[in-house]
Structure 1
């Protein structure tokens, strides 16, 4: 079933209304945000232990506020894919977000591919392309069957992820908790935390529009705001646990390509090492599925308007595979550290300009005035597809 098949407010469970959006947002954020720990090293470790935590709290607040506004605006204009959303928000300038989103997808899928390759090399000694291809096949497989398949993935991977991260922090505290406490007392430079938090939040917040298909489960604007406010902490909690563990080896860990693998080697627990790397692969899988599924839903909406029928499973699989195979070559060419260091900061400013600023400047006033125009959204889609 696609987003067009099920209107908002149709027999939705409490989980679908309040927790699924947060789990879905976390799913998109974690792969491009902190699954390997590389992003935490890039944006938060330079500000030291306490400065890094301050930046993460700032990012959490930004995520919650923007998710709440995004979900509420999406319900107001009945937009359950990113294209419909930006047609309603930006009018004829909606294409600016489309360009930014395509760049975002190319970047994060490339990062995911590079990360999967690094995991395969670190855990099995296999050529990186093995891990990258395995991730590609898995993403295409889940994206083939639409919302129901992707939402089940978000749900079950979330249980695995939170459980593994909880076990990870307990093992880290047991294994090198004294080092964590000692390094939190280091007089480290705490400047730059606000910029780090803002940058990190900005390029990841695009996840709020990536997961718009799940907004159809919400039955009221109160649902939308509540789910949005909860989404920030749900997405950031595992990152904070990860960051605390990383502090045991601060500042040297900042130079590690895969901080997660470095920490696991220090724990010296082979069984947990493989479990954690499996969890990271699952996190990359759900993040990649979220990004690809958003494009599938965008194409599906246009096809339903133009032809009266949406994407078939074969069409979804073909589109997903085309995106993924193209990004493999980007990942192989540039590598994980270079992709994160050079691409994410630029993308953060673009997302701020074409999404966050217009949402606050244009979308929020419409919400305050209680303007709900689902008919306008449909007419815009029909006039410029």
Structure 2
């Protein structure tokens, strides 16, 4: 059993894991539409598979991080892929964290401008201010902000999905869906969904190796993965309740929220902004930890410097950046998932 001293750390880890995955795509509902809802009720099988993978991989990453006493993701990548492939993946991951940070900052400006009618720079400035505060407080700041914000956005997503289901109800039968989801099959789609969303969690969770015990890490990975599964299932069910109308909307969750109550529109805008902010914080932390795993002044320098360097990228069109960079994230994530699923097993068998 976990003692009281480790309970707060466990909660912080679970929130951090969930917070790195529930980004703008999840909160908007578009990711879940493409990867799960388009398969009808079979998409729920995909949700179960994804939840199992998230639970297993989260626990595995934290377990390996503690065993390796890792302070950044480079050490974990070298263990999984070897020195040469690990170095290549390391370089690729650095660019992905930088690109992800730029995308999220761009998104915070777009949300404030499009949903609230406020200047784009205001959304970006508020996000930067929050990131600077977290970076200044190091790993403790990351864990604390996730404990505050992640339950908020998770509760908001589940509330909107629950209200949508309560108001509309599930159809007894989903009509034939002409459009196929990602990958063409519910199982492949669920695997690709996990691979697209594990790069940032690996970059963040691998920094915890010197701060937690194996038991705490494994519990956090399993609970976080199952929590994600519950949220995925609720949004998938709500999407099926509003099928096929949601196919016509870029932001399905906003459509469902508007059907329930117009008052939920600004609440939903805040939800997406928070989702982008927590992902941006995770990206900045992953980058800073890569170059300063020991924390301190160097960590703060790299964290703040990368935010300022990607600022020009934040003023590019949000959808353009997503189309340009997300395919790269998916391919890199697939390599990482395959390594996580196979390498530890082979190394264990050798021993």
- Give TM class, smaller chain: 0.7 to 0.9
Residue matched to 1:290:
282
Q: Determine which of 153, 162, 174 is the counterpart of 2:145.
A: 153
With over 3 angstroms needed to count, the CA separation of the structure-2 counterparts of 1:141 and 1:225, relative to structure 1, is closer
Residue matched to 1:315:
301
Tell me, yes or no, if structure 1 residue 201 matches structure 2 residue 194: yes
TM-score, normalized by length of structure 1?
A: 0.78
Contact 1:165–1:242 (CA<8 Å) still a contact in 2?
yes
Shift of 1:157: 1.1
Q: Determine which of 234, 253, 260 is the counterpart of 2:246.
A: 253
Contact 1:31–1:288 (CA<8 Å) still a contact in 2?
no
Residue matched to 1:362:
343
Residue matched to 2:314:
328
Tell me, yes or no, if structure 1 residue 173 matches structure 2 residue 165: yes
What is the SS of the residue equivalent to 1:230?
A: helix
Shift of 1:146: 0.8
How far apart are the structure 2 equivalents of 1:342 and 1:42? Answer: 18
How far apart are the structure 2 equivalents of 1:84 and 1:11? Answer: 30
CA distances 1:296-335 after superposition (whole Å, capped 9, x unpaired) = 112113xx5xxxx843575145324235414314xx24x3
Alignment of 1:1-385 (within 5 A): 12-17=5-10, 19-31=11-23, 33-47=25-39, 49-93=40-84, 94-177=86-169, 181-182=170-171, 184-188=173-177, 192-206=185-199, 207-220=201-214, 222-270=215-263, 272-301=264-293, 310-312=296-298, 315-329=301-315, 332-333=316-317, 335-336=318-319, 338-341=320-323, 343-353=325-335, 355-367=336-348
How far apart are the structure 1 equivalents of 2:284 and 2:5? Answer: 24
Contact 2:27–2:157 (CA<8 Å) still a contact in 1?
no
How far apart are the structure 2 equivalents of 1:313 and 1:209? Answer: 15
Shift of 1:201: 0.5
Contact 1:140–1:320 (CA<8 Å) still a contact in 2?
no
How far apart are the structure 2 equivalents of 1:122 and 1:106? Answer: 24
Contact 2:108–2:273 (CA<8 Å) still a contact in 1?
yes
Give structure 1 stretches of 5+ with no counterpart. 1-8, 371-385
How far apart are the structure 1 equivalents of 2:299 and 2:55? Answer: 33
How far apart are the structure 2 equivalents of 1:253 and 1:129? Answer: 30
CA distances 1:252-276 after superposition (whole Å, capped 9, x unpaired) = 3234222222222222241x33233
How far apart are the structure 1 equivalents of 2:302 and 2:289? Answer: 9
How far apart are the structure 2 equivalents of 1:103 and 1:317? Answer: 14
TM-score, normalized by length of structure 2?
A: 0.85
Contact 2:138–2:296 (CA<8 Å) still a contact in 1?
no
With over 3 angstroms needed to count, the CA separation of the structure-2 counterparts of 1:90 and 1:317, relative to structure 1, is closer
Contact 1:70–1:209 (CA<8 Å) still a contact in 2?
no
How far apart are the structure 1 equivalents of 2:5 and 2:307? Answer: 31
Give structure 2 stretches of 5+ with no counterpart. none
What is the SS of the residue equivalent to 1:35?
A: helix
Over aligned residues, Cα RMSD in angstroms?
Answer: 2.9
With over 3 angstroms needed to count, the CA separation of the structure-2 counterparts of 1:132 and 1:250, relative to structure 1, is farther
Shift of 1:289: 0.7
Contact 1:183–1:247 (CA<8 Å) still a contact in 2?
no
With over 3 angstroms needed to count, the CA separation of the structure-2 counterparts of 1:55 and 1:134, relative to structure 1, is same
With over 3 angstroms needed to count, the CA separation of the structure-2 counterparts of 1:269 and 1:252, relative to structure 1, is closer
How far apart are the structure 2 equivalents of 1:362 and 1:96? Answer: 17
CA distances 1:198-257 after superposition (whole Å, capped 9, x unpaired) = 11110112213422233444323x433333222211233223322322233323323422
